[in-house]
Each structure stands twice: as structure tokens, then as C-alpha cells.
């Protein structure tokens, strides 16, 4: 597994370049590796949640365990990260493109891994005092909106959907993910 090739592949598929398939392992093992990549970004999500919760309460905490209930956050993150896979499977069955399901899962997972790593690094720099919170929060918001753009671009590149259908697909996928996050906040 060459993670840098996956990064190049993410840019290639998002830009709609031909030959993006060469950068990914589009087999069963590649699907498992992409799911493993989602597990590896959990610390990035924990850091983001820790910083946001610390700012919300205007307190400094000595450890992560004082501010975050790790079990519930882990369950919420798994539901959020797996919501795409469930929606992709449903859409693939309804619109009959099961042959494109595996590449769609793999490319989306790796795009989210790289995006989450970037946002996690920004929050890490904030925790070191190198970036102000308003800029960090803005980058996090842009990262979340980028997920919508990623889903639209992948629907166009991987599934070969037209613009309107790709936008509807991306919005539907993000609606489900956002619903999970908002439901968990209550």
C-alpha cells in the first residue's frame, strides 16, 4: 500500500483525469485497506473534538479523557464514517452500478483520510499556539464543505454521472452524514 500514490490518485480522480485507477488498489484487499485508513484518522477527529470542546468550555484540560467521552465519540465517528458506505451500497443497488461500488468506496475513503489528516494538522498547530482559533475553525468548516465537493467530484469521475445527478448524490450523502452528527449532539 503506497499512501502517497493514494494521495496522487485522490487529486487525479477529483480533477477527473484519466488513469486515476492506476493509483489505487481496486480489489477486495484495497477496500479493507481503505477502511483501515478510516480507523487511522480517528486520532485526528479526537484532536478536533478536544480543541472544540476546550474552546466551548473556555478551560484547559490536563487530558483528553476529562473533556471527551471516548466511547460515545468513537461510536458517533464510526457511524458517521460508515454512513457513506451504507449510502453508496444503497445507491449502487438502486441505480445498478455495483461494478463501480468498490472504486467509489476506495477513492472516497482515501480522499477523506487525506482531508482529515490536513484538518488534524491544522488543529495540532492551533494546540501549539501557532494558528489562531478563528482561522482553525474556518479551515475545519472549509474541510467539512470540501467533503461535499469531494462527493460530487467522485460521483462525476467514478460513477460517470452528469452534473445534476452528481450534485444530488453528493448532497444526499452529506445530508445523511450531517444528520448523524446533528442527532448525536442532542
- Scanning the chain, the segments in alpha helix (DSSP H) are 3-14, 28-40, 42-57, 64-67, 70-95, 101-127, 133-157, 163-185
Q: What is the pLDDT of residue 100?
A: 92
Q: What is the pLDDT of residue 2?
A: 76
Q: What is the pLDDT of residue 125?
A: 94
Residue ranges of domains in the chain: 3-185
Q: What is the pLDDT of residue 62?
A: 62
Q: What is the pLDDT of residue 1?
A: 63
Q: What is the pLDDT of residue 113?
A: 92
Q: What is the pLDDT of residue 15?
A: 92
Q: What is the pLDDT of residue 55?
A: 76
In a structure prediction context, what are the per-residue pLDDT tens digits for the chain, which is 186 residues long?
A: 677 888 899 999 999 899 999 999 999 999 999 999 888 888 888 888 888 877 776 666 666 566 677 788 888 888 988 899 999 999 899 888 899 999 999 999 999 999 999 999 999 999 899 999 999 999 999 998 999 999 999 999 999 999 999 999 999 999 998 898 888 765
- From the number of C-beta atoms within 10 Å of its C-beta (0-12, 13-18, 19+), residue 109 rates as buried
Rounded to whole angstroms, the Cα distance separating 82 from 96 reads 21
- From the number of C-beta atoms within 10 Å of its C-beta (0-12, 13-18, 19+), residue 182 rates as exposed
Q: What is the pLDDT of residue 60?
A: 63
35: cell is 477502511
Whether the model clears a pTM of 0.85, i.e. scores above it, the answer is yes
CA-to-CA dists, residue 106 to 21, 37, 132, angstroms: 10, 10, 34
Rounded to whole angstroms, the Cα distance separating 174 from 30 reads 24
Q: How far is CA 75 from the centre of its chain?
A: 16
Amino acid at each position: 500500500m503506497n499512501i502517497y500514490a493514494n494521495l496522487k490518485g485522490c487529486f487525479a480522480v477529483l480533477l477527473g483525469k484519466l488513469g486515476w485507477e492506476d493509483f489505487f488498489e481496486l480489489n477486495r484487499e484495497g477496500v479493507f485497506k481503505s477502511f483501515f485508513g478510516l480507523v487511522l484518522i480517528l486520532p485526528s477527529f479526537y484532536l478536533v473534538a478536544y480543541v472544540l470542546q476546550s474552546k466551548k468550555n473556555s478551560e484547559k484540560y490536563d487530558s483528553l479523557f476529562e473533556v471527551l467521552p471516548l466511547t460515545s465519540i468513537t461510536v458517533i465517528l464510526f457511524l458517521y464514517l460508515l454512513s457513506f458506505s451504507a449510502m453508496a451500497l444503497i445507491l449502487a443497488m438502486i441505480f445498478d452500478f455495483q461494478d463501480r461500488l468498490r472504486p467509489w468506496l476506495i477513492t472516497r475513503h482515501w480522499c477523506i483520510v487525506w482531508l482529515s489528516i490536513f484538518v488534524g494538522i491544522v488543529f495540532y498547530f492551533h494546540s501549539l499556539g501557532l494558528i489562531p482559533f478563528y482561522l482553525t475553525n474556518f479551515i475545519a468548516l472549509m474541510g467539512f464543505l470540501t467533503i461535499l465537493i469531494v462527493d460530487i467530484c467522485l460521483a462525476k469521475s467514478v460513477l460517470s454521472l452528469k452534473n445534476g445527478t452528481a450534485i444530488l448524490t453528493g448532497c444526499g450523502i452529506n445530508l445523511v452524514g450531517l444528520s448523524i452528527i446533528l442527532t448525536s449532539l442532542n
